[in-house]
Homo-oligomer: A and B are copies of this chain.
């Protein structure tokens, strides 16, 4: 008899041992059959990076009713590509990344391995959602996010998502969530990004750090604002990056330039 429960493929960038991914499985397991393929160690800040200079491998970690878990030597994006082509027996109904330990709102979407997972699912035509919590601690409390995660995932399983569109969902670090806001990606950039380390072997070393400078801190449409004010921020996110609204003007520039 065919298994008719929805198939949910899960990965993250904090690695297979992170609390966030086991919490995610806990919240989602009533919704379908879960397959996890996640990096065998933390790979934060992986974006959509691929492993191209060496082969990757995976290993079965755990198999119980409704949940199968693999770890993989590759990046978060490798995990999705590899699960898809090896361990899954059919196309997943949902790809989910997270729950990330740390905020992936605003421009962080570009650096996030969790959103790399989601973008990969979306490029392959599967409704895909990333969940992140604004707390980097290993022991962060994901409990308040649980009911929202279940509700949003169930909604997307039922309705799907438009082509080339995925969801970037971020949770404020509070037990008193005020509700959901559908948001825009906040405009801003990181500043003071490098901490100078003590000089070693005649070289300067730098650790990546920094603060996010929000260019529109009062803009209530922004995901950054929603999180700062206690709301779940859902930012619908496109993987077609074409700047359609600039095509005509650019064509004009090129024409003038060729005269």
Question: Contact residues of A with B, CB < 8 Å?
Answer: 42, 44-53, 55-59, 77-78, 81-82, 85-86, 107, 109-111, 113, 116, 119, 123-125, 151, 155, 159, 161-162, 164-165, 180, 182, 184-185, 187, 189-190, 193-194, 197, 203-208, 234-244, 246-247, 249-251, 253-254, 257-258
Copies of chain A in the complex: 2
Q: Across the interface, do B247 and A185 meet the contact criterion of CB distance under 8 Å?
A: no
Q: Across the interface, do B46 and A254 meet the contact criterion of CB distance under 8 Å?
A: no
How far, in whole Å, are A111 and B81 apart by their CA atoms in the complex? 13
How far, in whole Å, are A116 and B107 apart by their CA atoms in the complex? 13
Q: DSSP majority for the A interface?
A: mixed
Residue of B nearest to A115 (CB): B241
List B contacts of A57 (CB < 8 A): 203-206
Given the contacts A47-B48, A123-B189, A85 and B55 also touching, CB distance less than 8 Å = no
Q: Across the interface, do A82 and B206 meet the contact criterion of CB distance under 8 Å?
A: yes
Contact of A49 among B47, B85, B161, B207 (CB under 8 A): B47
List B contacts of A190 (CB < 8 A): 81
> Apart from A57-B204, A58-B204, A182-B251, what are 8 other A-B pairs with CB-CB below 8 Å?
A45-B51, A45-B52, A48-B110, A155-B254, A184-B244, A187-B240, A235-B242, A236-B243
List B contacts of A82 (CB < 8 A): 194, 206
Q: Across the interface, do A236 and B246 meet the contact criterion of CB distance under 8 Å?
A: yes
Q: Across the interface, do A111 and B77 meet the contact criterion of CB distance under 8 Å?
A: yes
Could you list some 26 contacts between A and B, CB below 8 A? Answer: A45-B49, A45-B51, A46-B47, A46-B49, A47-B116, A48-B111, A50-B111, A51-B208, A56-B206, A58-B204, A59-B203, A81-B194, A82-B206, A86-B206, A107-B239, A109-B241, A110-B123, A110-B241, A123-B189, A155-B253, A182-B247, A185-B242, A234-B254, A237-B242, A238-B241, A241-B241
